[in-house]
Chain A
Amino acid sequence: MRRIIWITGALLVLILLIMQSRRPDYDLPRVEAASTFDASMHPNSQIRSTLHQSCYSCHSAQGEIPWYGGVWPTSHLLQKDIRRARARLDFSSWNNLSPEMSRIRLMSACQMMKESKMPLWYYRPLHPGSAPSPEQVDAFCAWAASLPVGTQIAGLR
């Protein structure tokens, strides 16, 4: 029995070591301050703090990659999560959004937080304090809802 555990364990360690050669590609470009959400939307300090604390690890190129983000297989998971997250909402490149889409993204974020879908269930225990309080969510949603609606459609009769 001991021998089987040894062999199995050794094989898994070997796989683990070989897989370390797969470097994760987080696709995190250098962030220009002018292109960020903070620079574009000028949120107050409370909103900014809520978003940085709850969202920025995955939904920006400004989050720190934890140590296990460099170790396979968690690096694989993190890469998938962060790239998918930034495809849907990226606070680092807010200048890529129209006013209409800016509001849509923020209202979606509000909805996800209100329904406790974000931060993800498995993210919270790994990042204590990341889950926003109901008051923080309400304040964020009220702020997002107060933004001007949509784009001015010039020429649309």
Chain B
Amino acid sequence: MSRLEIEFTGVAKPRALQAMQSKGEPAASQGLAGIVLKCAIWTALASAFILLTSCGGISFDTRPSADIAPQSLFMFAPVQAPGPATGVSALRVDLGRRLFYDNHLSVNASVSCDSCHHLAEYGVDPGNSVSLGHDKKPGDRNSPTVYNAVLQFAQFWDGRAATLAEQAAGPMMNPVEMGMPDPMAVLAYLHSSPDYVRQFQQAYPGSGDPVLMDNVTDAIATFESGLITPARWDKYLQGDTSALSDEEKKGLRIFLRSGCASCHAGKGMGGNSYQKLGAYRNWPDQHTDVGRMALTHQPADLLYFKVPLLRNVTETGPWFHDGHVKTIGDAVRLMGRYQSGRQLSEDEVHSIVLFLGSLRGEIPQSYIKPGAAPPLRTALQRSGAQPLTSLASTATSKGGQ
């Protein structure tokens, strides 16, 4: 593990000497008491300066009723609930939904996408720091929510998939997660179901065999693209100042003042940049998960992770890339300490958490309602396809979260 190289640009000592020489008076001509006094004054002044700048911060109006200037909110943008899909898009959404819930896309028919991203529970695996795969082995990272994931500029905690479709292919073939040995195993299963084949043909009309991995991942991605959860926050951004309570507005002001919006901004309130965990203060664990450095092999990427979305964040615990943070209050507190360089008071944490609650949208129940499950086992047995449970998986790739 290589440590980050700290460059002082080689100027400290020469400049220090230059500065001392430019003062004109040789140190030898001053009395010892004078030097001591100067050092003392320097220390006292610098210390006072540190105290002054540390405690000051940006002043802001703490009155709960105070309005928030619109120019303070330019970095945010509202989202809208997607309209109903039509045409082939609707067919792809239906197919994607079916695939999302289908545990036969895993080697033991034991887990589906929904197993780690419970749609009924804001798209995460509540209570589990990391999710368990097809053979109950834990994954490497916490399962991020699939809600609003389309708003992100990249997928996975380390951003190694550029799109939802690219992401969707990851867990299926991941040996710890769904454990399919290769794409052919997935396609063999789908081909074994006439119902699936018919559904693919309708959703991806044209010549040739539509049961392709590209179409599998595209259908899942199309379904996931509709998992948008507008919240009271969006109404507020659209001008409804009553959408947030006074306490929530107070939390928003603290959120802004603390610099949270430097990273948690945009439509998703995050998901649009990589940031170093421990940007302000070194993160205690520098080695267990090195973040994007494992992907890029660049020391500069040590502990860089994709900034997670804050939409529905109060519901998507446990938090952080390893899911070790069990309460949203602790998550806010740690972010303040390690990212913003602010020791947030209990009152400030409470206010920010209240504000974060305004980012919680409604789960689109009708959109996520699973369709009728086809007799998949029967179809598989009838076709004579190789039973998926017998397909061995090889542990080679990185965890899929």
Contact of A153 with B50 in the complex, beta carbons under 8 Å: no
A100-B4 contact, Cβ under 8 Å, with A64-B11, A74-B46, A87-B339 = no
Does A16 sit within 8 A of B, measured CB to CB?
A: yes
Complex contact B273–A9 (CB within 8 A): no
B43 touches A107 (CB 8 A): no
Separation in Å of the A25 CB from the closest CB of chain B? 7
Selecting from B105-113, B185-193, B233-241, B260-268, the interface stretch reads B260-268
Does B265 lie within 8 Å of A104, measured CB to CB? yes
The residues of A that contact B242 with a CB separation of less than 8 Å are none
Please give the distance in Å from B258's CB to the nearest CB on chain A: 11
**B299 interface residue (CB < 8 Å to A):** yes
With CB as the reference atom, state the residue of chain A lying closest to B50: A77
| Residue of B43, B49, B272, B300 touching A98 (CB-CB under 8 A) | B272
> Does B19 count as interface, using CB distance less than 8 angstroms?
yes
A67-B19, A84-B259 known; A29 vs B50 contact (CB < 8 Å): no
With A9-B36, A101-B265 in contact, do A87 and B6 touch (Cβ < 8 Å)? no
B37 at the interface (CB under 8 A from A): yes
Known contacts A30-B299, A97-B273; decide if A157 and B83 are in contact (CB<8 Å): yes
Interface residues of A in 66-106 (CB under 8 A from B): 66-71, 73-74, 76-77, 80-81, 83-84, 86-89, 93, 96-101, 104-105
Asked if A147 lies at the interface with its beta carbon under 8 angstroms from chain B, I say no
Does B77 lie within 8 Å of A32, measured CB to CB?
Answer: no
Given contacts A35-B300, A155-B150, A87 and B11 within 8 Å (CB-CB): no
Of all chain A residues, the one with the shortest Cβ separation from B279 is: A87
Instruction: Answer yes or no: B68 CB below 8 A from chain A CBs.
Output: no
A34 to chain B, nearest CB (A): 11
**B contact residues around A104 at 8 Å (CB):** 75, 265-266
State A122–B53 Cα separation when bound (angstroms): 9
Interface size on A, as a range, is 35 or more
Chain B nearest Cβ from A71, distance in angstroms: 7
Does B373 make an interface contact (CB < 8 A)? no
Q: How many A-B residue pairs have CB under 8 A?
A: 173
Q: Which residues of B contact A15 (CB under 8 A)?
A: 43
Q: Which of A22-77 contact B (CB under 8 A)?
A: 25-32, 35, 61, 64-71, 73-74, 76-77
B65 within 8 A of A: no
The B207-235 residues at the A interface (CB cut-off 8 A) are 221-222, 225-226, 228
| A80 touching B341 in the complex, CB below 8 Å, given contacts A64-B11, A65-B9, A151-B272 | yes
Q: How far is the CB of B215 from chain A (nearest CB, A)?
A: 14
The reply to whether the CB of B328 lies closer than 8 angstroms to some CB of chain A is no
Q: A67-B12, A83-B341 are in contact. Are A73 and B272 (CB under 8 A)?
A: no
Please encode chain B, from 272 to 308, with 1 for each CB lying within 8 Å of some chain A CB and 0 for all others.
1111100111100000000000000011101010000
Query: Would you call B33 an interface residue if the criterion is a C-beta within 8 Å of the partner chain's C-beta atoms?
Result: yes
| A70 partner residues in chain B, CB cutoff 8 A | 8, 12-13, 16
CB-CB under 8 A from A155, the residues of chain B are: 150, 164, 221-222, 225
Contact in complex: B298, A32 (CB < 8 Å): yes
B33 neighbours in A (Cβ, 8 Å): 5-6, 9
For the complex formed, measure the closest distance between the CB of B288 and the CB atoms of chain A, giving whole angstroms: 19
Chain A residues in contact with chain B, CB under 8 A?
Answer: 5-6, 8-10, 12-13, 15-16, 25-32, 35, 61, 64-71, 73-74, 76-77, 80-81, 83-84, 86-89, 93, 96-101, 104-105, 107-108, 111, 117, 122, 150-151, 153-157
11 further interface pairs, Cβ-Cβ under 8 Å (given A83-B279, A101-B153, A154-B163): A13-B36, A13-B40, A15-B43, A27-B4, A29-B4, A69-B12, A77-B46, A77-B50, A84-B259, A104-B75, A104-B266
